[in-house]
């Protein structure tokens, strides 16, 4: 399967967002631009759900199940308990990872409450550097591996001053496939600088760059799926 029909629709960063979609947080009704710690926790929860090997549709559906139940703070999640969380995860379609994820949520939220009073902004404020921020988040529990951390911090770029994650591998793949970077690009630091320059030269605000970055991640996922289908057909 070729990517040419998709590439022909994409000539600018704006086109990428229009074609693939932007920030996942906005789709979920989460307003990170409000710089509100409750909104940040909502995205924290969503990132934990998106970080598993599960479809974006099911992860989003499960987040909405949590929202419907009012489980949008570490305290309410802890109060619901393991059995209650499993029920909500199952209602959202998160059946394959329900037991594991319920345990993960309780451990991570418990650590967040114990160490930072349940306040992610406090965690960010106590971090001494971008790398310290990443270590503090990962140390909350096993649920925050590199993939989940990248998902979470990517959309906080420009909101938290110390949120400076490396460019996601999928974003790099998407940018190369769409011609924003050369096929030989491998240094994610330099790639991020180039993409930021493209974004700002189009007249966009730096704080809105996560829309472009998330769109490139979505593009990278699309092209990976196409390659898998092409291999099966071949």
Q: State the pLDDT at residue 154.
A: 96
Instruction: Tell which of 89, 124, 154 closes a domain.
Output: 154
Domain count, the chain: 2
Regions of the chain where pLDDT drops below 50: 1-5, 233-234
Q: State the pLDDT at residue 143.
A: 73
CA distance 158 to 205: 10
CA distance 57 to 94: 10
CA distance 1 to 19: 18
pTM above 0.85, yes or no: yes
Q: State the pLDDT at residue 225.
A: 82
Tell whether 82 is covered by a domain. Answer: yes
120 & 97 share domain: yes
Task: Tell me which residue range forms the domain holding 200.
Answer: 4-23+167-233
105 & 197 share domain: no
Question: Burial level of 26, CB count in 10 A (0-12/13-18/19+)?
Answer: middle
Instruction: Tell which of 154, 182, 204 closes a domain.
Output: 154
Q: State the pLDDT at residue 212.
A: 97
Q: Are 127 and 136 in contact (CB under 8 A)?
A: yes
Tell whether 160 is covered by a domain. Answer: no
| E strands present in the chain | none
Tell whether 159 is covered by a domain. Answer: no
Q: State the pLDDT at residue 174.
A: 96
Q: State the pLDDT at residue 4.
A: 42
Please give the structure tokens belonging to residue 64: 């909405």
30 & 131 share domain: yes
CA distance 124 to 60: 25
- The enclosing domain of 64 has a CATH number of 1.10.340.30
175 & 196 share domain: yes
Q: State the pLDDT at residue 8.
A: 56
Please give the structure tokens belonging to residue 13: 């960063």
73 & 10 share domain: no
Tell whether 161 is covered by a domain. Answer: no
Q: State the pLDDT at residue 3.
A: 40
CA distance 9 to 178: 10
Tell whether 111 is covered by a domain. Answer: yes
């Amino acid at each position: 399967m070729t990517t040419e029909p998709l590439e022909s629709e994409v000539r600018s960063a704006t086109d990428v967002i229009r074609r693939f979609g932007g920030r996942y947080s906005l789709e979920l009704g989460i307003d990170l631009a409000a710089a509100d710690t409750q909104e940040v926790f909502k995205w924290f929860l969503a990132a934990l759900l998106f970080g598993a090997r599960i479809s974006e549709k099911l992860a989003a559906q499960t987040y909405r199940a949590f929202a419907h139940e009012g489980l949008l703070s570490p305290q309410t999640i802890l109060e619901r308990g393991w059995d209650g969380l499993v029920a909500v995860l199952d209602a959202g379609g998160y059946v394959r990872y329900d037991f594991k994820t319920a345990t993960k949520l309780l451990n991570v939220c418990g650590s967040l409450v114990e160490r930072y009073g349940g306040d992610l902004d406090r965690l960010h404020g106590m971090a001494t550097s971008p790398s310290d921020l990443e270590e503090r988040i990962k140390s909350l529990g096993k649920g925050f591996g590199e993939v989940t951390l990248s998902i979470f911090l990517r959309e906080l770029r420009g909101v938290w001053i110390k949120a400076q994650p490396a460019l996601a591998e999928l974003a790099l793949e998407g940018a190369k496939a769409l011609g924003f970077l050369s096929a030989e690009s491998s240094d994610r630091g330099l790639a991020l600088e180039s993409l930021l320059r493209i974004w700002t030269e189009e007249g966009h605000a730096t704080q809105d760059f996560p829309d472009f970055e998330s769109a490139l991640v979505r593009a990278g996922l699309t092209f990976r799926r196409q390659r898998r289908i092409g291999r099966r057909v071949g």
